[in-house]
Structure 1
Amino acid sequence: MRLCELREMEVINGCTCKRLGCVEDLEIDLCRGCMDAIIVPVPGKICGLWGAEKEYVIPVECIKKVGPDIILVEISEERCLK
């Protein structure tokens, strides 16, 4: 899967059934060559410029399912909000 495909997918928190937004970026560990987290801006942020300065940094371990159009995660939103 490519980043451009991930960016079109909605991220849903399975614990609260809340829509978190769409993937904006990835956190990658270059030494291991693995993806560590997906980054989702808080709703209301437009093109990464206007709105809240916070984002969800969701560790890969919290991703439960990747479907054709959504990514299901199980997180405590307060702990992943940076």
Structure 2
Amino acid sequence: METRIAELRYKEVISVEDGTRYGYVGDMEVDLGSGQVRSLIVPGKRRFFGLLGREEDKIIPWTAVKRFGEDIILVEK
């Protein structure tokens, strides 16, 4: 299966273990030397309409990614 980085932004990241919904992919960390993806980054949720900042970003190691679906990415915690 092939996918583009732009398409990942529209996929929701969900835990296969307990169904926790982390949010949507906001960014990726890539090793420029090898070209391999190291992690997916899901932006932290806004606190009180963004006035109180936001939670920390959720960094998901590439090794935790288990499956890509049409509109979701299943990951282990």
Give TM-score, length-normalised by structure 1.
Answer: 0.79
Aligned position for 2:33: 31
Q: Report the CA distance between 1:65 and its aligned residue.
A: 0.5
Residues 3-47 of structure 1, C-alpha deviations (whole Å, 9 max, x = no match): 1100000000112211100000000000111110000012337xx
> Which stretches of structure 1, 4 residues or longer, exceed 4 Å deviation after superposition?
none
User: Which one has the largest radius of gyration?
Assistant: 2
Q: Distance in 1 between matches of 2:7 and 2:65?
A: 16
In structure 2, the gaps of 5 or more residues are none
SS of aligned partner of 1:42 = coil
Structure 2 residue matching 1:16: 3-state secondary structure: coil
Identity %: 42
Which secondary structure does the structure 2 equivalent of 1:43 belong to? coil
**Paired position in structure 2 for 1:78:** none
Alignment of 1:36-75 (within 5 A): 36-44=38-46, 50=50, 51-75=53-77
Q: Which residue of structure 2 lines up, in the alignment, with residue 2 of structure 1?
A: 4
- Determine helix, strand or coil for the equivalent of 2:67: strand
Higher mean C-alpha deviation, range 12-21 or range 64-73: 12-21
Give the deviation of 1:53 after TM superposition: 4.6
